[in-house]
Amino acid sequence: MSGSGLSPWSLVADPNKYAAIVAQHANCSPELTPPLLLRCLRERPLEALLSAPVQAPDFAYAFGPSVDGVVIDTGDLLVNPENGYEWGGQTVAHAPLGKQAQNAINIINAVLMRKSAVAQLTKYDLMLGVTKAEAYFAFSGDDVQYGIEADRRSKILKSFVRNTYSYHLSEILATIINEYTDWERPVQHPINIR
């Protein structure tokens, strides 16, 4: 699917869970360290990897980019409301003056290390793409032609909200339904809902 890094489908939510499922199916111990697990999986036949019973929830994916600290950096900038800003564990805001100078040096070092990390990322290839029909298999031909009932729409949206967001689920669902309801039509016919 096309989209940006802010799209819900741009990152896998729990990659370790799916890696453990594939590892067990391929007779590799999920308790191995990542390099050893990778070596074990590379030694297994492709059929064993492809036949792993991995089932992702609706509107989520089992495989794709994940924050691994190598390709996608975990980020060192943390915000602590009690202590101000922290960068790499170094408090910036509410420290004594001597300590603030040391923290400033640590921040400069962290920025330089970040530039070094960005320079390392230049050795990775980047593949971009868009698609003409987003979520092509999400709806049948009849759904597209004749529309869907309001109950089915609500189930689909509830599933999407539940599997995409963590907080304020009912408010998000109500906002989506409100935004995509044609309030000028008194009867919500399936064709109007599609």
Q: The tokens of 10 are what?
A: 């741009």
Whole-angstrom Cα distance, residue 164 to residue 166? Answer: 7
pLDDT single digits (tens) 117-158: 666 666 666 666 777 776 677 788 888 888 888 888 889 899
Q: Enter the DSSP assignment of 78.
A: E
Residues in the chain where the model's pLDDT stays below 70: 1-10, 66-128, 134-135, 194
Contact 169, 162 (CB under 8 A): yes
Whole-angstrom Cα distance, residue 107 to residue 101? Answer: 10
Beta-strand ranges (E) seen in the chain are 77-80, 84-87, 90-91
Closest CA to 20 of 12, 29, 30: 30
For residue 130, the model assigns a pLDDT of 74
Q: Is the pTM of this model over 0.75?
A: no
| Rg of the chain on CA atoms, in Å | 23
Contact 17, 54 (CB under 8 A): no
pLDDT single digits (tens) 149-159: 888 888 989 99
